[in-house]
Structure 1
Amino acid sequence: MKLTEPQIKQLYTFTREHYVEHYDLQTELVDHLANDIESQWQVEPQLLFEDAKNRAFKKFGIFGFMDAIEQKGKAMNKRYMRYFWTELKKWFELPQFVATITLFLVFYFAFSSRFVSVLVFTFFLIIAIWSIFKGIKLKKQFNHRKKISNKKWMLEELIFKQAGGAAMIFISQIGNIFIMSDRYLDNIYAIIGFSVAFTAVVLINYISLELIPNKAEKLLKETYPEFSL
């Protein structure tokens, strides 16, 4: 005995009612519940759908779908980070490595000059404004995409909504950055460290706010064969 289309839809509604927001996890849970219900019907053909559904749900324990949500979140974070590290490694290989070294040298010579305080503020402002602008733009894109598809995919949310996390951490350190620029940038090791830090921030933000979102369609179709906008 197989579930009907209306019953499958009821299972999707059931998962949403139990705080499963993302369509990809809903689909996995619906498939799991459906298999369990059909297995029960093989033994008890007269069992009501609601009773079989509640039995299947109880097997998830007292926290319901919370463990499944957490595990899926960890899996998608790992997948996202694999994409990120793949892109980052390219900047330490030719020809991108030339751009990485050039960026480092720009910061190094800027922080070695007597205008260091002004240049730190200028670079910080440029990075902050660009990162905030891109973060807002990506959030709007995500909301628009969700409105079109009426579905919320976990990896898609990571790509479009959480990409600016590193930028926000950087911006929150504005006070420490200016204190360090005043106190420590007469030391060559401090200058090198500052230059590396600013180079890393630029690369991290560019990858997470520009490169990966631009490849979103490809990455989502690789992860979800059924994905379509």
Structure 2
Amino acid sequence: MELSERNIENLYQFTRDHFVEYYDLQTELVDHLANDIEAIWEQEPNLSFVNAREKAFKKFGVYGFSDVVIHRERAMTKRYFKYLWRELKIWFSLPKIIITLALSICFYTLLVSQFSEYFIYIFYGILAVWCTYKSFMLNRNFKKKSKASKQKWLLEDLIFKQAGGFGMVLIYYNINLLNSTTPLHQTKYLVIVISVLLSVTCLLAYISLELIPKKSEELLEETYPEYHLQTT
């Protein structure tokens, strides 16, 4: 006995009622529930759809779908950082490594100057303002898109909503590192390390807040084979 389209839609609604908001997770859970329900019907063909659904749901344990959602969120976060790392590596290979080196040299020159302390504060101030602005714009655009499509995808949420937080974390750890290190004028090796670190911080902020959001459609289609069908 197979499930009808009405049964499938009921399962989608069932996942939403249990606080699963992302369409890709809903689809994964619906497939799992559907297979379990059909297996249950083979053993108990007279069991109603609702009772079979509840029996299948009990297999998820006392926490319901929560464990599955947490596991998938962790897996998708790893995938997001994989995309981030893939884009970052491009800036350390020809021809873009020239830009990275030029940026590091620029930072080094400013850090060994008499204005190094002022430069640090100005740099992080500008970066914080830019990250805040980009985060606000990405969130606003994401909300508009979500209302129009009525479907939310986990990776898309990471791209548009979590990127800003990632940028601010970068700034926080960089500031802590600078506050805990030896004064810059005492060692050139430290200045070199910090120059590279500042360059990487700029690149990661640019990649997470500008580049990856622009490539979101491409990345979503790469991650979800069904994405194109659902958005056309």
TM-score, scaled relative to structure 2:
0.91
* Contact in 2 for aligned 1:120/1:178 (Cα 8 Å): no
* 1:47-91 Cα deviation digits (max 9, x unpaired): 111110011001111211111111111221121111111111111
Equivalent residue, structure 2, for 1:123? 123
* Contact in 1 for aligned 2:167/2:208 (Cα 8 Å): no
Equivalent residue, structure 2, for 1:185? 184
1:46 Cα deviation from its structure 2 partner: 1.1
Instruction: Give runs of aligned pairs for residues 13-92 of structure 1, distance below 5 A.
Output: 13-92=13-92
Give, as a single letter, the amino acid of the residue that structure 1 aligns with 2:23. Answer: Y
Equivalent residue, structure 2, for 1:139? 139
Equivalent residue, structure 2, for 1:199? 199
Is the deviation greater in 200-209 or in 38-47? 38-47
Using the alignment, how far apart are the partners of 2:37 and 2:198 within structure 1? 55
Instruction: Give runs of aligned pairs for residues 200-215 of structure 1, distance below 5 A.
Output: 200-215=200-215
Using the alignment, how far apart are the partners of 2:175 and 2:98 within structure 1? 31
Give, as a single letter, the amino acid of the residue that structure 1 aligns with 2:220. Answer: L
What percent identity do the matched residue pairs reach?
Answer: 48
Give, as a single letter, the amino acid of the residue that structure 2 aligns with 1:169. Answer: V
1:179 Cα deviation from its structure 2 partner: 4.5
SS in 2 for 1:45: coil
Using the alignment, how far apart are the partners of 2:68 and 2:170 within structure 1? 32
Using the alignment, how far apart are the partners of 1:46 and 1:66 within structure 2? 30
1:193 Cα deviation from its structure 2 partner: 2.5
SS in 1 for 2:27: helix
Instruction: Name the CA shift for 1:82/1:173 in 2 (closer, same or farther; >3 Å).
Output: closer
- 5+ long unaligned stretches in structure 1: none
1:189 Cα deviation from its structure 2 partner: 2.5
* Contact in 1 for aligned 2:171/2:201 (Cα 8 Å): no
SS in 2 for 1:163: helix
Is the deviation greater in 163-172 or in 132-141? 163-172
- 5+ long unaligned stretches in structure 2: none
* Contact in 2 for aligned 1:117/1:178 (Cα 8 Å): no
1:166 Cα deviation from its structure 2 partner: 3.0
SS in 2 for 1:33: helix
Using the alignment, how far apart are the partners of 2:71 and 2:6 within structure 1? 28
TM-score, scaled relative to structure 1:
0.93
CA RMSD for the aligned pairs?
Answer: 1.8
SS in 2 for 1:47: coil
* Contact in 1 for aligned 2:91/2:97 (Cα 8 Å): yes
Is the deviation greater in 83-92 or in 165-174? 165-174
Equivalent residue, structure 2, for 1:11? 11
Instruction: Name the CA shift for 1:219/1:202 in 2 (closer, same or farther; >3 Å).
Output: same
